[in-house]
A = this chain, B = another copy of it.
Amino acid sequence: MSSSEKTRTPVTIYGQHYIITGTETSAHMRLVAELVDEKMREIRSVNPNLDTSKLAVLTAVNAVHEQIRLQERLEHLEQELSRLKE
């Protein structure tokens, strides 16, 4: 799909409906929604007293932490790769 096309994907996360718009495929956005839903349920199982809003914030914290970790690993690999190509 061309990057200029926008998709509108209806998803359900933790019982709430959302329309996610973006340039990704609907299949990708459904996968993302499923992972967020799973993560929220996982965090709730450890902290059963959290309300939905705090649960979602902690899910976002978790994902951003993972994002930074991957970003660091990516930078490390890119450096290694450019050394090997020299």
Which residues of A are at the interface with B, using a C-beta cutoff of 8 A? 13-14, 16, 18, 20, 22, 24, 28-29, 31-33, 35-36, 39-40, 51-54, 56-61, 63-68, 70-71, 73-74, 77-78, 80-81, 84-85
- In the assembly, how many copies of this chain are there? 2
- In the complex the two chains form, what is the Cα distance from A22 to B63 in whole Å? 14
Q: Are B36 and A60 in contact (CB under 8 A)?
A: yes
Identify the closest chain B residue to A57 (Cβ).
B56
**A32-B65, A68-B32, A74-B73 in contact; A60/B81 too (CB < 8 A)?**
no
Shortest CB–CB separation between residue A71 and chain B, in angstroms? 6
Instruction: Across the interface, name the chain B residue whose C-beta is closest to A17.
Output: B54
